[in-house]
Structure 1
Amino acid sequence: MSALNLIPVFMVGLLGSVHCVGMCGGIVSAFSAAPVAARPFPVAVMTQRAATDGMARVLAYNTGRIASYMTAGALAGGLAGGARTLAGLTAVQAGGYWLANLMLVILGLYLMDAWRGLAKLEALGQGLWQRARPLMRFIVPIDRPLKMLALGALWGWLPCGMVYSVLMTAMFTGTKAEGAIVMLAFGLGTLPMLLAMGMAGERLRAALQTRAVRVGAGLIVLAFGLLGLVRAATGGQGSWLDALCITGGVH
């Protein structure tokens, strides 16, 4: 997968992070900037070196979160690559390209609240999260960046339809390395919004959760998916659409 192919993955993370604000924004802002009494878990009292300390916590949390995304991407890419090798079918990867772009269409509709199909996928992932959640007891109180790193690593496995949709792209790269790179690009796309959320708090969160913002972001993600499907249907290999579409791996 070329660097150019990663542009839409990064953009999906950037635009889809209006959804991350709802799921992750509250917790990261709570641990980095909120008064102690407002935090959802027992956190040790911090002195007012707030800006530097808060940024360290936000960066640690997001590093852990993106590391979990990359791990999931490597697992998904490795599994799909092994299955393709055993089957000897490159058509599996071609079919995956169609499916990955279809998932972007579904994600766009989900961000717009036009269709909530991905919410059912999130519900299926609750079982995994319920198993991981008890590990929280080992990291509270969240009193230093290292524990925020561990919190982010756990939070990266939270059931999320947006992450699942991008994992479909990672899966059909067919290799562990490319699967991890796809999820790194996605995670970096979500980073600006969550860094801002961690430092700016609830006022920004409320603004980003407005319907106009969600619909606008959803429409652009939807357009990425539709362009990808058009490219697949017309065989526009090597065209200008490559810059805007998720394309197959280099294999």
Structure 2
Amino acid sequence: MTLDLISAFFIGILGAGHCIMMCGGITTMLTSALPATRARQKPGQAQVIAVQPAQTKNQSGTLPPEPGKTLLVICYNLGRIASYSLIGAIIGFTGSFAARNAGMPLAGLRLVAGVFLILLGLYMGQWLMWLNRIEALGKGLWRRISPLSKKVIPVDSPAKALALGGLWGWLPCGLVYSTLTWSMASGSALNGAAVMFFFGLGTLPALVTMSFGMLTIKQLLTNNIFRKIMAFLIIIYGIYSVFVASGLVF
């Protein structure tokens, strides 16, 4: 199980470029929630509007994170990872229950998970887009969930950021769906939740750096050559997983 958690974590890291492409726009909501001015008022005095001075970039070319924005980003990502964990628990329970009733060994599900990793790598490298069809299966549910996001926009409080992250975790995504196959093969709801929790942790570096405007890192993660290298590594790991699972099944 430890290897599964480590694998899920690195899948999240390797899918960094895809994460930014899919979820990077959410940072706009978080940033726009911060007011450009803040009010200061002393007893007995008229209200004074103090305009925030423009922030200066540090040596790395990034803006120092504002305390309010930092809290919103943390809450958003907590909500997102919590959703992943919940979905992982559901899939883990469903997969183990179905496998027991069908008399299928969990190694068979691991074989499926390995195949999905290969498809994920091909999808990320834009060599074969079959996962688009898998994403389409989740669009019906997303159409029902996405309108709820209007109730938490603008994201001007930690509670709203947490709720938006929780909703965003259900966004149809080939990267998430491929990792969910590992939850399906995990054998239990708890293990399924753990797999997706570690996957969520792996996606943090990409989305957090995006949130704080670290443009140099963003350019690297979205670079076409870098993304194809990451896709190739996922394909290699998928082939290895298929090989190992095949040895257990046959």
Q: TM-score range by the shorter chain?
A: 0.7 to 0.9
1:75 aligns with 2:113: no
Separation in structure 2 between the aligned mates of residue 203 and residue 135 of structure 1, nearest angstrom: 34
**1:38-57 paired onto structure 2 within 5 Å:** 43=33, 45=35, 47=38, 48=52, 51-57=66-72
Residue matched to 2:30:
32
Separation in structure 1 between the aligned mates of residue 215 and residue 135 of structure 2, nearest angstrom: 25
Q: CA deviation at 1:234?
A: 4.3
Residue matched to 1:189:
202
Amino acid at match of 2:88: G
Q: What secondary structure, in the 3-state scheme, does the structure 1 residue paired with 2:171 have? A: coil
Spell out, residue by residue over 1:91-111, the C-alpha distance to the aligned partner (whole angstroms, 9 max, x if none).
2x2210100011111111111
Separation in structure 1 between the aligned mates of residue 79 and residue 235 of structure 2, nearest angstrom: 29
RMSD over aligned Cα atoms: 2.0
Unaligned runs of 5+ in 2: 39-51, 53-63
Residue matched to 2:110:
97
Contact 1:32 1:55 in 2 (8 A): no
Q: CA deviation at 1:208?
A: 2.2
Residue matched to 1:152:
165
**1:164-179 paired onto structure 2 within 5 Å:** 164-179=177-192
Amino acid at match of 1:210: N
Contact 1:170 1:179 in 2 (8 A): yes
Q: What secondary structure, in the 3-state scheme, does the structure 1 residue paired with 2:187 have? A: coil
Pair 1:144–1:202, CA change in 2 (3 A): farther
Separation in structure 1 between the aligned mates of residue 154 and residue 214 of structure 2, nearest angstrom: 21
Q: Greater CA radius of gyration, 1 or 2? A: 2
Residue matched to 2:3:
4
Unaligned runs of 5+ in 1: 37-42, 236-251
User: Which among 133, 138, 144 is matched to residue 120 of structure 1?
Assistant: 133
Contact 1:110 1:118 in 2 (8 A): yes
1:19 aligns with 2:34: no
Normalising by structure 1, what TM-score? Answer: 0.83
Separation in structure 2 between the aligned mates of residue 186 and residue 121 of structure 1, nearest angstrom: 19
Pair 1:44–1:10, CA change in 2 (3 A): closer
Contact 2:34 2:68 in 1 (8 A): no
Most deviating of 139-148 and 164-173: 139-148
